[in-house]
A and B are shown apart, each in its own frame.
Chain A
Amino acid sequence: MHVTSDKFSKNAADALHDPFLQGALQRATGKFVNERLRAVAEYPGFEALRDQGRAIKQEALDRLPELLEQFEEKVIERGGFVHWARDAHDANQIAINLARSEGVKVIVKSKSMTTEETNLNHALTEAGFEAVETDLGEYILQLDDDYPSHILAPAIHKTKEQVADIFDRRLHEKNPPDAGIPGLNTIARRALRTKFLSAQMGITGANFAVAETGTIVIVENEGNAALSTTLPKIHVAFVGIEKIVPRFNDLAVMLKLLPRSATGQRMSSYTNFLTGAARAGEEGPQKLHIILLDNGRTKIYADEKLQGSLRCIRCGACLNVCPVYQKVGGHAYGWVYPGPIGAVISPQYLGLERGHQLPFASSLCGACYEVCPVKIEIPHMLLELRNRVVEENTKATGRPAKRTFFEALSFQLFAVAARRPWLWGLGSAIGRRLLRSKASGGTVGKVELPVLRKWTSERDLAAPAEQSFLEQWKQRSGSKGGRA
């Protein structure tokens, strides 16, 4: 896919002027947030569960090399194959070689952010295979040459009319009048049925990979992952090396956290536990290939301040609560992982040069941390990345971040006033009056003064209170001053 993370500001501005997108985002994120709240409130001890989720994923990271080897051993024991891929290109190439050597023509894919990351569809199509996305949202996007804007609801930016039009153009199927969304569903069900029944290979991602047993777990609602891992004779799974959990029973914790945090469901419709290839007499793929993907993860792993971001289980909760994501949507972030977690990990996968705007796409309100089922300290990581962006700039230009003449002057004036209480009091009294005279509805509009102009053109400045803090303090404590 075309990376546009370096144009975040422009992408965001475009998104803000798209009325349909604004409606869709509000509806989707609002719904996800509410459903999650309901599910969490109903489950006593959800906070303790988050601590356990964090501990399990952190243990997996602490013991990662050993656990990956154990996972590999177990998969092989159960008749599967394990491949290791340094980057996206290698991973795709492994899948292509497998498909070639097995004489595969049609491939069914179930939704996987990891294969979005490697841009697998593109690679498979280039190599001459028919690779079909089977998750309804992903299928719609594939037919329209588009890409996901939310990690759970990939097509939230499309209207049903647009979908009907896409099906008409690409599948030559008209949705009967009054058939509505269920009608569109039926068209997709029928079209994809033929693919499931004729595909020779199914490609999936995984939500969890269990070191102890070599099991991979796929959580889904449609049944397309179940079909993709049952009907074709070959199953290929793209698994990021951070998907490991140590023990099978850890799933008892992770599977409570994931659906509740993601969609507010207690359990998703289908949770698939897949261990090895089909054995004699068992239905399912005779061949299982698991591709363990690095693609930058070892780099994040070595980064002490950011390693925790590898605990992410891609639930999407941080996207839904983020005031920035809620307004700009997923495409603005310009790469596969949007929202707060995207702002942390994309700059690492893409490099700071291309991802430098993303750490600033946050109000640092901390809502993402509050909901994260594995307690990733996203706000701290964003601050760390901001520091690094500034450092990089300093290094590149050979001097500290440049200050404009007015900026420098403001800091000097500030220094003068801050050392003289009488001047500070006078200055702030005048400033307060001035700003209050401009205020309406509790906020001050754009202030046509140097420095302030830039700040207030993009942000609402709250109108100052009538009295300063010190004035109020004196009044309330009977002018006794601040000594206790």
Chain B
Amino acid sequence: MSARDEILDSLQAASSTRAEHGHAHTHAHTSQALKAIAGANLSGFSRAISTDYNVALVERFCERLRSVKGEAFNATDAAAAAACVKDLIARWNIRGVAYSADPMVASAGIPALLAELKLPVQRLDGGPGEAPWREELAAAAREKRAPTVPWDLAIIGCDGAMAETGTVVHRAGKGHGRGGWLLCQAQLVLVDVSQLVPDLEGLFVSGGALDKDDLPRAITAITGPSRTADIEQTLTVGVHGPGRFCAIVVG
């Protein structure tokens, strides 16, 4: 008998004995509970049309992201966002930028800004366009030197964000992978205010960033910088992923 059949058979045997003994559970309880929470949060979700509510959401998002060592800003429009990015590039001493093909990145005028700052750039498309870049990163790491151009900031958009925890969600897809931003020292995410939901359930709705009927190979919910406390329980950032993290909520 194959391992598969053996495992399934023994599970089946055990559950049918249990059912005979009247231990079978009904799951109405479970699904009811789930519906109840989903319902509660959906009503919260639709309230997002009111302006006050939006302000509260943005505030909550920023506060929560800061509490996990991320930076968070609210920019009223694309121009303000670009100014914020410019400021960050100076403050973090960024020498090269990789950016994704996200519409938010384009609408905030990031490519123009980088040209103005005369910074070396790399398009993050998760495809062949990234290959030479990755090879250079690998060679540099192997030879224990800095890469020829230190692309140390990744600028990306996102597919959803959650106020309760200060989280942004990235759905990897054609033309925007995640390997690129994972390899950078710092990460900047542009969030449109309409993408913000109060809590986790809001992301699971149809058409949301975590829609069960539309799942790409990789979805990443990102909450602040890469962190570890593995040595003496001391929190340090940037162990494998970006050590600096900033989100700008636009609108």
Q: Which residues of A contact B (CB under 8 A)?
A: 24, 27-28, 31, 48, 51-52, 55-56, 58-59, 62, 64-65, 68-69, 84-86, 90, 134-137, 140, 153-156, 158-160, 163, 181-182, 184-185, 188-190, 192-194, 196-198, 212-213, 215, 221-224, 226-227, 229-231, 241, 247-253, 255-256, 265-279, 281-284, 292, 294, 298, 301-302, 304
Contact code string B1-18 (vs A, CB < 8 Å = 1, else 0): 011101110111111011
Chain A CB within 10 Å, residue with most, of B12, B17, B231: B231
Q: In the complex, A31 Cα to B234 Cα: how many Å?
A: 11
Given contacts A222-B241, A226-B241, A282-B174, contact A184 B33 (CB under 8 A): no
The reply to whether A155 and B231 form a contact with Cβ atoms under 8 Å apart is: yes
The reply to whether B34 and A270 form a contact with Cβ atoms under 8 Å apart is: no
B179 within 8 Å of A (CB atoms)? yes
Contact code string B166-188 (vs A, CB < 8 Å = 1, else 0): 11000011110111001100000
The reply to whether A222 and B240 form a contact with Cβ atoms under 8 Å apart is: yes
Q: In the complex, A265 Cα to B64 Cα: how many Å?
A: 11
Give the Cβ gap from A455 to chain B, nearest Cβ, in Å.
Answer: 36
The reply to whether A266 and B164 form a contact with Cβ atoms under 8 Å apart is: yes
On chain A, the residues within 8 Å of B27 by CB distance are 55, 59, 62
Given contacts A153-B233, A160-B232, A301-B14, contact A230 B33 (CB under 8 A): no
On chain B, the residues within 8 Å of A292 by CB distance are 7
On chain B, the residues within 8 Å of A269 by CB distance are 68, 222-227, 241
The reply to whether A302 and B13 form a contact with Cβ atoms under 8 Å apart is: yes
Given contacts A28-B233, A181-B231, contact A282 B34 (CB under 8 A): no
The reply to whether A282 and B216 form a contact with Cβ atoms under 8 Å apart is: yes
On chain B, the residues within 8 Å of A268 by CB distance are 223
Given contacts A222-B239, A266-B64, A301-B11, contact A56 B30 (CB under 8 A): yes
The reply to whether B24 and A194 form a contact with Cβ atoms under 8 Å apart is: no
The reply to whether A65 and B15 form a contact with Cβ atoms under 8 Å apart is: yes
The reply to whether B138 and A197 form a contact with Cβ atoms under 8 Å apart is: yes
B201 within 8 Å of A (CB atoms)? yes
The reply to whether B37 and A253 form a contact with Cβ atoms under 8 Å apart is: yes
Considering only CB atoms, which chain A residue lies closest to B245 in the complex? A269
The reply to whether B37 and A62 form a contact with Cβ atoms under 8 Å apart is: no
Considering only CB atoms, which chain B residue lies closest to A58 in the complex? B25
B220 within 8 Å of A (CB atoms)? yes
Q: In the complex, A408 Cα to B165 Cα: how many Å?
A: 61
The reply to whether B33 and A52 form a contact with Cβ atoms under 8 Å apart is: yes
B111 within 8 Å of A (CB atoms)? no
Give the Cβ gap from A70 to chain B, nearest Cβ, in Å.
Answer: 12
Q: In the complex, A213 Cα to B3 Cα: how many Å?
A: 23
The reply to whether A65 and B231 form a contact with Cβ atoms under 8 Å apart is: no
Give the Cβ gap from A181 to chain B, nearest Cβ, in Å.
Answer: 5
On chain A, the residues within 8 Å of B231 by CB distance are 136-137, 140, 155, 158, 160, 163, 181, 184-185
On chain A, the residues within 8 Å of B217 by CB distance are 274-279, 282-284
A-B contact pairs, 6 of them (CB 8 A): A68-B8, A136-B239, A160-B234, A230-B179, A265-B223, A269-B222
The residues in B between 177 and 224 inclusive whose CB is less than 8 angstroms from any CB of A are 177-179, 182-183, 200-201, 204, 210, 212, 215-224
Give the Cβ gap from B169 to chain A, nearest Cβ, in Å.
Answer: 9
Q: In the complex, A250 Cα to B162 Cα: how many Å?
A: 17
Q: In the complex, A227 Cα to B241 Cα: how many Å?
A: 8
On chain B, the residues within 8 Å of A68 by CB distance are 7-8, 11
The reply to whether B14 and A298 form a contact with Cβ atoms under 8 Å apart is: yes
The reply to whether A62 and B7 form a contact with Cβ atoms under 8 Å apart is: no
On chain A, the residues within 8 Å of B24 by CB distance are 62
The reply to whether A194 and B230 form a contact with Cβ atoms under 8 Å apart is: no
Give the Cβ gap from B160 to chain A, nearest Cβ, in Å.
Answer: 12
The reply to whether A64 and B11 form a contact with Cβ atoms under 8 Å apart is: yes
Q: How large is the interface on B (under 10, 10 to 19, 20 to 34, 35 or more residues)?
A: 35 or more
Closest 5 A/B residue pairs (Cβ): A223-B241, A283-B177, A137-B230, A283-B126, A197-B138
On chain A, the residues within 8 Å of B126 by CB distance are 282-283
The reply to whether A190 and B141 form a contact with Cβ atoms under 8 Å apart is: yes
The reply to whether A270 and B232 form a contact with Cβ atoms under 8 Å apart is: no
B228 within 8 Å of A (CB atoms)? yes
B134 within 8 Å of A (CB atoms)? yes
Q: In the complex, A250 Cα to B24 Cα: how many Å?
A: 20
Q: In the complex, A302 Cα to B2 Cα: how many Å?
A: 20
Given contacts A276-B217, A302-B17, 18 further A-B contacts (CB under 8 A): A52-B34, A52-B37, A62-B24, A65-B15, A86-B6, A185-B238, A188-B239, A192-B240, A198-B138, A222-B228, A226-B178, A230-B178, A241-B11, A248-B210, A269-B68, A269-B224, A273-B219, A283-B179
On chain B, the residues within 8 Å of A230 by CB distance are 172, 177-179, 182, 218
B91 within 8 Å of A (CB atoms)? no
Which of A196, A223, A229, A256 meets B218, CB within 8 Å? A229
Considering only CB atoms, which chain B residue lies closest to A111 in the complex? B230
On chain A, the residues within 8 Å of B224 by CB distance are 269
The reply to whether A213 and B212 form a contact with Cβ atoms under 8 Å apart is: yes
On chain A, the residues within 8 Å of B142 by CB distance are 194, 198
Q: In the complex, A470 Cα to B11 Cα: how many Å?
A: 55
The reply to whether A231 and B230 form a contact with Cβ atoms under 8 Å apart is: no
Which of B6, B38, B144, B182 meets A227, CB within 8 Å? B182
On chain B, the residues within 8 Å of A136 by CB distance are 228, 230-231, 239
Considering only CB atoms, which chain B residue lies closest to A45 in the complex? B37
The reply to whether A273 and B215 form a contact with Cβ atoms under 8 Å apart is: yes
On chain B, the residues within 8 Å of A194 by CB distance are 138, 141-142
On chain B, the residues within 8 Å of A275 by CB distance are 215-219
Give the Cβ gap from A387 to chain B, nearest Cβ, in Å.
Answer: 20
Give the Cβ gap from B207 to chain A, nearest Cβ, in Å.
Answer: 14
The reply to whether A223 and B226 form a contact with Cβ atoms under 8 Å apart is: yes
Q: In the complex, A385 Cα to B119 Cα: how many Å?
A: 66
Q: In the complex, A459 Cα to B127 Cα: how many Å?
A: 64
Q: In the complex, A194 Cα to B162 Cα: how many Å?
A: 34
Chain A CB within 10 Å, residue with most, of B2, B14, B137, B173: B14
B229 within 8 Å of A (CB atoms)? yes
On chain A, the residues within 8 Å of B118 by CB distance are none
Considering only CB atoms, which chain A residue lies closest to B203 in the complex? A252
